[in-house]
Structure 1
Amino acid sequence: MLITTSGVTFILLGFSEYADLQVPLFLVFLAIYMVTVLGNLGMIVVIRVNPRLHTPMYFFLSHLSFVDFCYSTTVTPKLLENLVVEDRTISFTGCIMQFFFACIFVVAETFMLAVMAYDRFVAVCNPLLYTVVMSPKFCATLVAGPYAWGMVCSLTLTYFLLELSFSGNNIINNFVCEHGAIVAVSCSDPYISQKIILVSATFNEISSLVIILTSYIFIFITIMKMPSPGGRHRAFSTCASHMTAITIFHGTILFLYCIPNSKSSWLMVKVASVFYTVVIPMLNPLIYSLRNKDVKDTVRKLINNKLFCPTL
């Protein structure tokens, strides 16, 4: 039975215990968010305007950038607001909607990285069949999967959150409406909701990592069999950016899982959550652009055209 939630609000404590750091933190997070927006939207534009980048790898990368932009935009504006205002309340509907969209995009990113690992596996291990296997229709299906599964997971978890009861003002010791913080202030038994998210998170993490690790095991074996050192170097360089993004993303998730559930660990949870929700969406476009000659060349041409041919 759905519980009535009229008059229920949440208070996001965020980093309010560090009063002297509110302005510096605001400036830091604002700068990170600006880089995130410019980096991810810029990556999408660069991929669209350069015909050389109209390949499956960059098709997946453009969707990763879109997911990162949406994920950061779901969380960061409210974080910035709470750093400069006294009233840190968020309505029940606002809190649930933030969780709903954040859940969609984090699950989508988890499996988008797995899809990109599969793409690299086909490119390195079956280069002659790459264009046949990674057809436009198949690529569209591979991209639709993470979004669809993210929606299924988010709807399921949100449904069980709405089954819980809440009353009055509820203090959330975080800057984002994440599942654990919401169920912690519930008036009813959150056992089922907690078990559902445990099963969902474990399945998503293990299944995506199995795809990624299996793909890279075969990639590594194939690369080591290459007779040419130059060929091995090129193969490794095409995978380096993706491996870096995977390591940062899944490393942060696993670190969050390992933090003990105690009051003394809340600061570590907040710091890890900042890295997970705010910093990673900024890092991904930087990782892929700084290590990619085609992307850097396209950006350079766009800048030169804007500076020296502004009327064209």
Structure 2
Amino acid sequence: MKKILLATSALVMVAGAAAAEVKLSGSARMGLIFDGEDTLLTSRVRVVFTMSGETDTGLSFGASMRSDQFGGNQKKDSAGDLLGSSQTGNNDSTVYVSGPFGKLTLGDVDTAAEGLVGHVSGVGLTGLGDWNELRYLGHEKTAALYEYSAGDLTFALSAGQIEDLDGVAANDDAYSVAVKYAPGDYSVALGYETAGGVDHIALGASATFGGATVKFVASDTDISGDPTQYALSLDYKVDAATFTIFATDEGTTNNYGIGAAYDLGGGAKVVGGIVKVDDSSVDDTIADLGLSFKF
């Protein structure tokens, strides 16, 4: 009888393993970065675990996490001290379930507006401060994102709590809704966010013509004195090389970047960029150059 039970248990375990899948991927980079004053060495390694499965009724589920974020589920108080294990703290991990009803994801997700409208293209090996990105209201690391697609149309809705933001109290509820239409080589997207009495709207569009892709994003809040923000980028691909330029206009802040990437094959690229930062607190030219790897 014991042998029959053991054999049955083994079959159940094998069947369960066949229905689920765990994938390992990662990225790394190495090179030089000029921070406006000094030239420094830079490197980073990331490992991503992606898990997926399916129920007997065809319901899909899965999760992902990054190995460089161990301890990310520990929340900190306003002084930066650890509060111990938290059910709401998170960092770069998600859990989802999907089916004919759409996809529901909990964890470190973007707001609906940021996910569908997004940003223009950036440059550089390290991102060079991500000055190509316009500001979204965002939310704390554990939030909910619902997505539903029908043909070329995608709808998204998210809910969470607001991160620290000028003029908005932390821990206020944050909500966002967005829609995107992407038939073929162009797309348009509109997103709305609200948190702590602040409303934010973002509009994005992109188009591809042969080897060129143009992206545009406009963003505006109802915070007094907060200017409308604009961003534009152009990516141009020639054989194994991709050239990128971007510009952002945030009122008193205007940033510009130019960069290039050359695909060496096998997941390796030579990547570099230069960004002119014209912020109220920063006025520098920064740059980087090196190798990036995908595994």
TM-score, normalised to structure 1's length?
Answer: 0.25
Task: Report the structure, 1 or 2, having the larger helix content.
Answer: 1
Task: Report the structure, 1 or 2, having the larger strand content.
Answer: 2
TM-score, normalised to structure 2's length?
Answer: 0.26
